[in-house]
Chains A and B, each alone.
Chain A
Amino acid sequence: MTTERVIEAFEVRKNYAGGTEGAGLNGFDLEVSAGTVTGLLGPNGAGKTTAVRILATLLTMDSGEARIAGYDVRRQGAEVRRRIGLVGQSAAVDEILTGKQNLVMFGRLNHLGHAKAVRRADELLERFSLTESAALPASKYSGGMRRRLDLAASLIVAPAVLFVDEPTTGLDPGGRAEVWSAVRELVKGGTTVLLTTQYLDEADQLADRISMLKAGKVVAEGTPDALKAQLGADWLDLVVTEQDDVQHIRQLVDRLADGEVRVDGLRVSIPVKDRTRALVEVATLLQGANIEPEDITLRRPTLDEVFLNLTGSGVPA
């Protein structure tokens, strides 16, 4: 069975008029299969929003090609817009109107009849647990509620593809959880989702595949596990109780480390190749030096570390 590609982008370039050289997209490629969630991960200014806006026909590219469900975003914009939903970086709802009024209005603008728009609004309010606040102006909503209303508004006519641009930036943990479960619900319904985020755990939690974006170009792509594996080394974490031990351990394990040893307070992280042998050798070394570690763990690299390796820049917390 061949999986259908619903999002395809090839060599997309975009330079903002009056923007800095190199800002925007510099040969952006992406392929997304139907029914999957793809996370577009990148630090501030990597070009996530630019990519989403181009795919959603809100922005024109300078060169390259992109298709949504087979329709060219440049030449068949109207067809594309019939098949997409967009949840922008800031919640794009009418703050003066109530939640329900918002959904009915967007329903009408999706060319549903009045009765149908009202029915759909009620369904969506129910589905996103907003029924109780349906009659409140959106300005009175919490960040998480507004995001959910925003999501609901994008789903009035079940889109084939949903773009979600940094859905949880600025939300508290409760709000994030609400939005995450809403996105998971959607995917169950068969929608293809392209989600941008700066949070690695978010991509890890929600995405089937991740594309890492740096300076307008995808620098790595794959499943979260594959990405972690691709970036090789496992880590051996040691936590000690004395600051003196940290330096001591650094010297002891230098020969074993497959890369640079990282120190974070009382935690020493050693990149290692051969997991079991490394564990045994480190344990032996520690015993010989009479150091009793508080904790010793062997683990796969976190996405943070993958990201750091690939992009050479830290990730905003």
Chain B
Amino acid sequence: MTARLGWALADGWTITRRALLHWRMQPWPVIFGWFFPVLMLLMFGALLGGAMETPAGESYYELLVPGIFALAMLFGLEATMTAVTTDVAKGVTDRFRSLPMSSAAVVLGRCIADLLDSAVGLLVLSGAGLALGWRWHGSMLEALAAFGLLLLLRFALLWVGIFIGLAVKNAQSIMAVQVLIWPIGFLSSAFVATSTMPDWLGTIAQWNPLSAAATAARSLFGNPDPSAASWIGDHALEAAIIGPLLLTAIFLPLSAATFRRLSN
């Protein structure tokens, strides 16, 4: 049993190293992935910032940066899906499955690599945010907790990505999902106060796990939050923990089942 766990970890690390080698061999897609949210930050901040109202007239970046953090976690989904689908399509997944290795390791490696990727992305984005005038006003510990919650969301979305990647199996369908990501990202409190939306839309947006992560991060960073007072808005911290756990509880077993179904 312990030997099996040992091999699962060792194999998982081999798969992580594979992803790191991918970064070294083809750095541009990864770097683009890190800087794309920075681009969004600049675009929204510079283009719309002037027209945005913040609760106490702070810089729009104070509000926007944590929102973009959450959005970056959502965009990470794309990298996960693409990697999973490519491996299935190229037969690499089959090769892994024909090896005497632990199948949990394939996912474990993916997990570690994608979380590392997102952690670096958050670092880059924080640097850009700081340069543009965003600050955190709380303690270091609170800031780390905020990043922790964001990565928890990324962890949950990872399973969504693995599930979709295994289920759709082809690159064209991935495109469709990529397009769908946008409305999901916008239908949240990432950019604007949900109170400015029509009631029903605002409610949906508030229940978006992305909003919970953004709101929780804002409160931990001590940044202003424009969310209308509501039950879910008041419990953002809890929601930012429970939401991802719930997503994981749904999509982890689904992914595992789909992985097993590859042999049907």
**A-side interface mostly:** loop
Determine whether the beta carbon of A56 is less than 8 Å from that of B101. no
Tell which of A90, A96, A137 has the most Cβ of chain B within 10 Å: A96
Determine whether the beta carbon of B91 is less than 8 Å from that of A111. no
Do A92 and B91 contact each other (CB < 8 Å), given the known contacts A58-B98, A78-B100, A84-B98? Answer: yes
Determine whether the beta carbon of B91 is less than 8 Å from that of A110. no
**Which chain A positions have C-beta within 8 A of B90?**
90, 92-95
Determine whether the beta carbon of A82 is less than 8 Å from that of B100. yes
Determine whether the beta carbon of B26 is less than 8 Å from that of A96. yes
Determine whether the beta carbon of A58 is less than 8 Å from that of B99. no
Determine whether the beta carbon of A108 is less than 8 Å from that of B22. no
Determine whether the beta carbon of B97 is less than 8 Å from that of A110. no
Determine whether the beta carbon of A109 is less than 8 Å from that of B96. yes
**Which chain B positions have C-beta within 8 A of A16?**
264
Number of A-B contacts (CB under 8 A): 78
- Kindly state whether residue A81 has any CB partner on chain B within 8 Å: yes
**B-side interface mostly:** helix
Contact with B along A92-136 (1 / 0, CB 8 A): 111111100100011011110000000000000000000000000
Residue in B7, B10, B14 whose CB lies within 8 Å of A105 = B14
Residue in B21, B26, B91, B101 whose CB lies within 8 Å of A101 = B21
A-binding residues in B (CB < 8 A): 7, 10-11, 14, 17-18, 21-22, 25-26, 90-92, 94-101, 262-264
What are 20 residue pairs bridging A and B, where the CB atoms are less than 8 Å apart in the complex?
Answer: A17-B264, A57-B97, A58-B98, A58-B262, A59-B263, A85-B98, A86-B94, A94-B90, A94-B92, A96-B25, A97-B21, A106-B95, A106-B99, A108-B10, A109-B14, A109-B96, A109-B99, A109-B101, A110-B99, A111-B10
B-binding residues in A (CB < 8 A): 16-17, 53, 56-60, 78, 81-82, 84-86, 88-98, 101, 105-106, 108-111, 137, 153
